[in-house]
Amino acid sequence: MNTGSLEYVIAEKVRNSGGRAYFVGGFVRDKILGIESKDIDIEVHGMEPDALFSLLSEIGEPLSIGSSFGIYSLKGENIDIAMPRKEKLTGRGHRDFEVFVDPYLGTAEAARRRDFTVNSMMEDILTGEIIDPFGGREDLENRILRHVDDRSFPEDPLRVLRAAQFAARFGLTVSKETADLCRTIDLSALSRERVEGELKKALLEADKPSVFFEVLREMDQLDVWFPELKQLIGLEQDPVYHPEGDVWIHTMEVIDRAAENRSDASSAYAFMMLALTHDFGKIMTTEFINGRIHAYGHETEGVPLIKAFLERITGDSAVTEYVLNMVPLHMKPNMTAYSRSAVKVTNRMFDAAAAPKDLIYFASADRPVFSGSDAFSGDSAFLLERYRLFEETMARPFVQGRDLIEAGLAPGPYFSDVLEFAHKLRLAGIDKENALKQTLSYARKTVK
């Protein structure tokens, strides 16, 4: 322990005042796992709230995050300082609790309100002693996620989703008794924001985000927030192109492969949501035709379903716009690569995309299984080269409205159509001088 650190200073002052300060929760778990944690949580035992507030005033400017809950912080510092407390559920939803601060509750009872044993460990800041009344360290070593208390665990339904995201992020297996308990919990009272918070952690921090959804499936907890995903289970695909199995299996494989490139995408979260939702259209378009399974038009037919899903999950309009733009395009990269389409075709594809380079990353994640990684590497090289040509094309001089005005055309409503014509010439690689001639000719015909 760095004896000059802020947390050590706090702990030493607490000890001198007759109390004891512990690191608690995820900070202790992450430390044992060797993971750097940015969020430091401290719990102070054996001091009254007013005395703790006065002590913190000697160190900095204390802020009451929830003074009635016994939670404080210091201005400008990323540390939460809490007091031991009990909680009593009074209704549905995470905010319907009565909280009772009890500085003398004791470590075992204070740890009992934690969700999982791996989060219930405490570490004395001054001595490094680990307080582990519920066997969290052993569970962590055995990669088991187990709830602490049968009675208190179901009081916050978010813990079902937390179980799934912890399993995904830390490679843990949910114990049978915890999974059984999670099956009995109603998730309908949760807010969109809290659900999205757990989803984001799984999609952005787990090496295999699929584990999050597989755990929810095992717990039979997809219905309330992820019903579209549940409909992918058992939805058959053409085994020629998808020997891996149904649309659920395919989607899970795609999000795991997408996770490998999410840090390169223009928006990691939007990119992962694209991977998650891209085949929702197969729910309404899958059919058997002449003995083969087809899902014609699924890339466009699924847009309303995806829109409804996004409205349920996120309030981020930028994410929604990204996904709704990219889903109809998601098949084009692999198709153009397979057929070695003309440059103007790939230019139009990239031009239509909200994040053109992300299409290449997605194509890698969504590649047909039969192609294999080695076979796809050639397609990836093709797409990257075509993206380079697209960027070169877009960097060249092009026909703009002022060029038309300088050529003697009067601005009017028809300009949008004329400029769209000029844009098509630009994507086709026509240089500005020739494009302007063709555009002016088109404009004069349009005016007539």
The tens digit of pLDDT for each residue in 351-390 reads: 999 999 999 999 999 987 655 544 455 688 999 999 999 9
Query: Strand 97-101 to strand 85-89: parallel, antiparallel, or no bridges (unpaired)?
Result: antiparallel
Task: List residues bridging with 21 in a β-sheet.
Answer: 44
Three-state SS for 216-276 is: HHHCCCCCCCCHHHHCCCCCCCCCCCCCCCCHHHHHHHHHHHHHCCHHHCCCHHHHHHHHH
CA separation, residue 164 to residues 128, 168, 221, 227 (Å): 30, 6, 10, 16
* Helix-helix angle 372-395:343-352, to 10 degrees: 80
Token output for 126? 């001054």
245 residue type, one letter: G
Q: Per-residue confidence at 70, pLDDT binned at 50, 70, 90?
A: confident
Query: Strand 40-45 to strand 20-24: parallel, antiparallel, or no bridges (unpaired)?
Result: antiparallel
Task: Tell me the C-alpha distance between 109 and 448, whole Å.
Answer: 85
Q: Give the pLDDT confidence of 201-238 residue by residue, as tens digits.
A: 999 999 999 999 999 999 999 999 999 999 999 999 88
pLDDT value of residue 80:
92
Q: What is the mean pLDDT of residues 416-442?
A: 95
349 residue type, one letter: M
What residues contact residue 374 under an 8 Å CB cut-off, 6+ apart? none
Residue with tokens 């400029």: 419
CB 167 within 8 A of CB 118: no
Q: Does the model's pTM come out above 0.75?
A: yes
**CA proximity to 80, closest of 14, 22, 5:** 22
Domain boundaries, the chain: 1-134, 157-221, 226-394, 396-447
Please tell me the total number of residues recorded for the chain in this structure: 448
Helix (H) or strand (E) holding 19: none
Q: Span 1-134: which CATH code? A: 3.30.460.10
Q: Give the pLDDT confidence of 15-61 residue by residue, as tens digits.
A: 999 999 999 999 999 999 999 888 899 999 999 999 999 999 999 99
Task: Tell me the C-alpha distance between 34 and 144, whole Å.
Answer: 17
What residues contact residue 402 under an 8 Å CB cut-off, 6+ apart? none
